[in-house]
Homo-oligomer: A and B are copies of this chain.
Amino acid sequence: MFNFDEKAFLERHKGALKIRNDVEKAVDAEYKRGFKNVFLIGVGGSTTSHMEWEPFLKAHSTIDFRMERAAEFVLCGNKRFSKDSLVFLSSVTGDTPEVINAAEYVRKQGAKIIAFTAKEDGPMAKLADYPIINTHGNTYFWHAVLLRLLHLNNEFPEYDKFFKELDGLPETLVDVQKAADEKARDFAKKYCDEPIHYFIGAGNMWGWTFCYAMCILEEMFWMRTKSVHASDFFHGTLEIIDRDTSVVLFKGEDESRPLADRVENFVPRICAKFTVFDTKDYALKGISPEFRGYISPLVMESVCERITVHLEDALKHPKQIRRYYRRLDY
């Protein structure tokens, strides 16, 4: 398969899954100590992880979770935040300014921090009470911390079964990438030069939809995108879709699926450039039917890795290039 290092992929994912031990120690200790509420604070990509988990947490937990944009949190404050809050942060590079500022603010208030970072000696690792360090485990970090918390709170009894299945996921995601490759290549070749793409998602797929449009296509490929929640779509954005507008729907398998069905039923009536990527199209060996919805975003991320590889080739635009990000001061 074009530009795919299966061995390296498996190593990355298997290595990333290993963060669970450290996460369990941290979460168990803080659950035992007790907290009033849990703050997920991030910026850019890390807030899209929060968006991904929000519907699941709402549906399954009575824990008082609060999502915050780091810079706004520091400037505007949150009256429910206190030393009795538990804070989850993530900064892969370890020095994202907004997140580091928030971490310093949190420490001053005396709240505890469990944080993911790839940089062992970066500011993030130093500011966290429990630094969770791994080069590639960001996605699994959120699974591990949030589901552990729900498990301890008697809100996720499937914990052991779920994570046993997750341990086999790296191989399954290789299968997904192989199965998705042709469709991903066709999409990239056909649509790489479109003036704009509309990306639509709902439920636990909304965070990844937003992330792929912003953190990959805008940031890495300088492609114009707008991400739209499947529910908002019918209250404004639909009006500017016409025959020649590229619209992409990311379908997952959680309870929000009827919202994506509605988009899928409507868009082809007015648009001839409509593409649906659906996690249901992939076998997911080793994953029980009841867990498929939980990991839909992980599956779609794998599908998108193939889109990204083929876009990079079709656009002749290496994905490492940045015009401004971390090149200019602002």
**Chain A: residues with CB nearer than 8 A to chain B?**
43-45, 47, 55, 58-62, 64, 66, 68-72, 75-80, 98, 195-196, 202-203, 214-215, 218-220, 222-226, 229, 231-232, 234-240, 254-256, 258-259, 262, 265-266, 269-270, 322-325, 328, 330
- B residues within 8 A CB of A255? 75-77
CB distance B234 to A265 under 8 Å?
no
How far is B58's CA from A66's CA once the two chains are assembled, in angstroms?
Answer: 10
How far is B73's CA from A256's CA once the two chains are assembled, in angstroms?
Answer: 9
How far is B238's CA from A215's CA once the two chains are assembled, in angstroms?
Answer: 11
CB distance A258 to B330 under 8 Å?
no
CB distance B330 to A266 under 8 Å?
yes
CB distance A76 to B98 under 8 Å?
no
Of the candidates B58, B59, B214, B232, which one forms a contact with A43 in the assembled complex, judged by CB atoms under 8 Å apart?
B232
Of the candidates B45, B266, B270, which one forms a contact with A235 in the assembled complex, judged by CB atoms under 8 Å apart?
B45
Closest to A269 in B: B328
- B residues within 8 A CB of A237? 214, 218-219
Of the candidates B62, B76, B236, B262, which one forms a contact with A215 in the assembled complex, judged by CB atoms under 8 Å apart?
B236
Q: What 4 A-B pairs have minimum CB-CB distances, sorted nearest first?
A: A44-B235, A214-B236, A266-B330, A219-B236
Of the candidates B47, B239, B270, which one forms a contact with A232 in the assembled complex, judged by CB atoms under 8 Å apart?
B47
- B residues within 8 A CB of A196? 196, 224
How far is B323's CA from A266's CA once the two chains are assembled, in angstroms?
Answer: 13
Of the candidates B44, B79, B218, which one forms a contact with A59 in the assembled complex, judged by CB atoms under 8 Å apart?
B79
CB distance A55 to B72 under 8 Å?
yes
How far is B240's CA from A196's CA once the two chains are assembled, in angstroms?
Answer: 11
Closest to A266 in B: B330
How far is B328's CA from A64's CA once the two chains are assembled, in angstroms?
Answer: 41
A152 to chain B, nearest CB (A): 16
- B residues within 8 A CB of A262? 330
How far is B60's CA from A72's CA once the two chains are assembled, in angstroms?
Answer: 14
- B residues within 8 A CB of A202? 72
A4 to chain B, nearest CB (A): 25
- B residues within 8 A CB of A232? 43-44, 47, 69, 214
Of the candidates B62, B256, B324, B328, which one forms a contact with A79 in the assembled complex, judged by CB atoms under 8 Å apart?
B62
CB distance A218 to B231 under 8 Å?
no
CB distance B218 to A240 under 8 Å?
yes
CB distance B229 to A226 under 8 Å?
no
- 24 contacts across the A-B interface (CB closer than 8 A): A43-B232, A45-B235, A55-B72, A55-B76, A58-B76, A58-B79, A58-B80, A64-B64, A70-B231, A72-B203, A72-B259, A75-B203, A76-B256, A215-B235, A218-B239, A218-B240, A219-B239, A220-B239, A226-B226, A238-B323, A239-B322, A239-B324, A266-B328, A269-B328
